[in-house]
Amino acid sequence: MPQERSQKDAVETVLKKLNSERPNSIPEKDLVFLKVIMDSPVVQSLVKAHGTLGFGKLTPESDQLCVLVEEVVQNVEKSDNELELCKIFQHAHVRCLFQAHDKISSLRNRQYVNMLGPGSGEWKNAVRMIGMSKKNDENLGLTVALVGEDIKVTRILHGGLIHKQGLLHEGDIITEINGNNVKGNPELLKEYLKKSEGSFVLKTIPSYNSLPSEGDIFVKCNFNYSPHEDTMIPSKEAGLSFTRNDVIKIVDRRDLKWWQAQHVNEKGEPQGRAGLIPSQDLQERRQVNTMSLKSKPALQMYKLSQHDQFSLGGVNLYEEVTNMPPFTRKLVILLSEDPELAHKVKMKLVKTFQHLYKQPITHTSNKDKSDNANYHVTDKDKMLDDIRKNLYFEHGYHDDQIFGTKYKSVSNVMKSGKICVKNSSPKDLNFLMTSEFMPYVVNLHPIKEKETNTMGQYMHLVNITLTCESEEAYCAKVHEEIQSLSTRSQWVPITWVY
C-alpha cells in the first residue's frame, strides 16, 4: 500500500533528522519532547491506521442487494447446499446486514438523485426490500393513502416502529408484503399486516425524501381533545387525546392541518407514542365556525370595563412553554368562584406564616380606612388620575369610594423577600401574566357548591386547582404547594424567559 508506506517513511525520516542534527534555534528539551512523541507506539499506530483508511475508497456495486438476494433465492435449484444457503439468507440478522448495506449505499446515491431531479428516468425502477419485526397487534406508526394505483406512505408517526427503524420515508410506495402484491389495495395491505406475526418484508419504491429536523417545541393545551370524537381526523387510532393544561411535545408540524405530538413528564421526557392532533390553524377555524353557527358576530366598541370579553378572544389554543429548573414564585394569586373563600384563605396564610407571606397594600379613597395597616388612603382625584395612567392592575367602587391595587404595591412585597399573596378577580389576572411577576395561580374549589360557573373561561391561566373541606385545610395545602415549587421543575410560558 504505497500511501501507507510513504507516511511511515516520512515519520522515519523525521526521527532520523532529530537524531542526527539539531538546529541551534530550537531548545534541546523541545526536540527531546518531539522525539518521544514521534517514537511513541500510539503515534506509530495512528500513522498506520491513517494510511490504511486513506487508501482509496470502496464504491458499492449496487444498493439493491436485498432484491438481488431475493432473485437468487427464487431462481436457484433446490439442492442441499442451495437450500442451506437460502436458509441462511432468510435469517433475520443476515437480512438486516443486507438492509444496512443498501441503506449505506443509497445514502451515497441520494446526492445524485437530488442533482437529477424527481422523476428522472434513471431511478424510476428503483426498489427497496425492508425487513421488520413486530409484536402481535403492535402499531407500526404510519398512515397510507391510495394515489392513483399506488399505496403511498403519507405520514410516519414520531417514535413509532417505522420511525425508529428509519428505512421507510414519507412518499415511498408500498407494492408488496411478504411477496404478496398489494398494489392499489390498501385494505389488503392492512389485512396482511394484521396477520403478520414476528417478521415481515415490504417491497417499496423509495422516494429518497429526507425529513427536515425540528427543534423541540413544548406547548400547554388550553382545550380538551379526544380523537374518537373528531370526525375530521385521518385515523382515530393514530390520534392523541389530551385535556386542558396538559403539556405536550410537538414533534412534527409540516402538515398544515394535523400535527404530531407526544405526552411528556415534568422533566419534558417523552411518554408513550406520538399521535395526531389538530393544528392551531385548523382548531381555530373549527371554533370560529362553531361560534358563527350559534350567533352572528356583531361589532362592539371596546370598553375597559369589559376588557376580559375581548382579551379572551385572543387565547392561544396551544401556548408555547419551556421547562424551568426549581425556583420560588414571588407572587401567588388565589382565585375562586367563592371570592370570600379566597379572601379568608389569603388572610390565614398571612397570619399563620407571617415570615413567608405578605399581602400588597390596597389604595383607597375611603378615609375610614386610615387606621388599617393594609390600606393606604389617598385623594380620590389622585386615584382617578393614576387609574388613567394604568398604574393600577385592578380597581373597583364600593359605597362611592375607590379601591385598587397598584403594580408597584405588588413589586414592593416581592422585593422585600417575602412571597406576595393576593386574592383577585380572574378578569384582572391577565395584567399580571408577565415575566416581571411570574404569578402562580391557585384555583380554590368552593366548599359549598355554586350554581354559576364563572371560572371555566379562565382555566387556561390556572396552575393548579385544589379541593379541601375547610379554610384551614386550604391554607395548609396552598402553603405545601408553594413550598414544593422550590424542589421541582416548572413549565412557564416561553415569553417569560425569552
Please say if the pLDDT value at position 343 is more than 80: yes
In the chain, the domains with their CATH numbers are 2-53 (no CATH), 70-117+124-205 (2.30.42.10), 213-296+306-324 (2.30.30.40), 325-496 (3.40.50.300)
What's the pLDDT band for 59 if we cut at 50, 70, 90?
low
Sequence-distant (6+) residues with CB within 8 A of 21 are none
425-436 residue pLDDT tens: 888 888 898 889
Sequence-distant (6+) residues with CB within 8 A of 452 are 337
Secondary structure class of 204 (helix, strand, coil)? strand
pLDDT at 26: 66
Please say if the pLDDT value at position 280 is more than 60: yes
pLDDT at 116: 42
Return the sign of the alpha-carbon dihedral for residues 412, 414, 420, 426.
positive
Look up residue 239 and give its amino acid.
G
Write the Ramachandran bin of 103: left for phi over 0, alpha for psi from -120 to 50, otherwise beta: alpha
Sequence-distant (6+) residues with CB within 8 A of 276 are 155, 157, 227, 233, 234, 235, 238, 239, 240, 258, 259, 260
Please say if the pLDDT value at position 36 is more than 60: yes
Q: How far, in Å, CA of 264 to CA of 275, rounded?
A: 13
Q: What is the DSSP letter of 76?
A: S
pLDDT at 219: 93
CA–CA distance from 227 to each of 237, 254, 258, 278, 379 (Å)? 8, 19, 12, 9, 57
* CA of residue 112 relative to chain centroid, distance: 34
Q: How far, in Å, CA of 205 to CA of 103, rounded?
A: 14
Residue range 436-445: mean pLDDT, rounded: 93
Return the sign of the alpha-carbon dihedral for residues 163, 95, 182, 137.
negative
Q: How far, in Å, CA of 361 to CA of 346, rounded?
A: 14
Provide the mean pLDDT of the chain: 80
Please say if the pLDDT value at position 411 is more than 90: yes
pTM score, two decimals? 0.59
206-260 residue pLDDT tens: 876 655 555 678 999 999 999 999 999 988 888 999 998 899 999 888 888 899 9
Q: Which of 183-197, 243-257, 378-392 has the lowest mean pLDDT?
A: 183-197
Q: How far, in Å, CA of 189 to CA of 482, rounded?
A: 54
